[in-house]
Amino acid sequence: MAKTKEVIFNVKECKYALAATPSTIKDVAYVDKISLQKNVSSQNLYGDGEIILEILADQGLTGSLSLVTYPEDLLKDLGFLVEVDGGGLAEVAVQSTKEIHLYVEIYTHVDGQTKTGKMWIYNVTVQKPDLSFEQSKESPVFAAFELPLTILGVNLKANTGLEDEVDSNGMKTKVWRKSVKPGNTDYANFGTTFALPKAKAV
């Protein structure tokens, strides 16, 4: 197979949909960075003084979403901010967790051509960002807002319907995120509509 010169960079066009109402997709302005870290552990079984079996436990992803502007609409939808009498917003104690699906676009530069990749991240819980403000001196000091993320994922759906896909061993498959690129069937509407990931038709 021929090698390709491929690099990945940039992040833009962040959006979200509440998991309870996934058909309503809203913008998040403006994304600076998103990071995702794997949460995988392993347990080794020893016999005759050597490893004879390794069992993996994939518990999803954790990460963070860094934004340039304070995400009032997102925090209101999550119940972290509420409107109060007289105008303005009040930050309130967290009483419940709402899951969202998170969308971003990322550039891929392949063999001299830059393309936009699209990605949905499934069933994400979001924590409130810390706030820090610093005085301006010779130049303004801009605030940044980082939201911790936990990605819970969804079960892969069967190609023929909404039921979960079950393999020949009776196992279901957890999906943390799905990415598409130009040329994929789902590409055109991937960021404007939401659909759960389905198994490939056999």
Classify burial at 169, counting beta carbons within 10 Å of its beta carbon; exposed 0-12, middle 13-18, buried 19 or more: exposed
* pLDDT surpassing 90 at residue 181: yes
Q: DSSP letters along 18-31, please?
A: ETTSTT--EE-S-E
What is the amino acid identity at position 190?
F
At 154 the pLDDT is 97
Cis amide bond preceding 122, omega within 30: no
Whole-number Cα distances in Å, 116 to 6, 24, 32, 35:
13, 23, 17, 18
What is the per-residue pLDDT across 2-42, written as a single tens digit (0 to 9) for each?
788 889 999 999 999 999 999 999 999 899 999 999 999 99
In contact, 202 and 165? CB cutoff 8 Å: no
For the residues 76-96, what does the mean pLDDT come to?
94
* pLDDT surpassing 90 at residue 187: yes
For the residues 65-82, what does the mean pLDDT come to?
96
For the residues 48-68, what does the mean pLDDT come to?
94
At 1 the pLDDT is 63
At 111 the pLDDT is 85
Look at the chain and count its residues. 202
What is the per-residue pLDDT across 100-132, written as a single tens digit (0 to 9) for each?
999 999 999 988 899 999 999 999 999 999 999
Q: What pTM value is reported for the model?
A: 0.92
At 103 the pLDDT is 98
Q: How crowded is residue 51: how many other Cβ atoms within 10 Å of its Cβ?
A: 9
At 185 the pLDDT is 93
At 171 the pLDDT is 95
Helix (H, G, I), strand (E, B) or coil at 80: coil
Q: How crowded is residue 65: how many other Cβ atoms within 10 Å of its Cβ?
A: 27
In what helix (H) or strand (E) does residue 72 lie, and over which residues does it extend?
helix 72-77
What is the per-residue pLDDT across 124-161, written as a single tens digit (0 to 9) for each?
999 999 999 999 989 998 999 999 999 999 999 999 87
Rg value, the chain, Cα = 21
Give the residue among 183, 171, 177, 181 at the shortest CA–CA distance from 197: 177
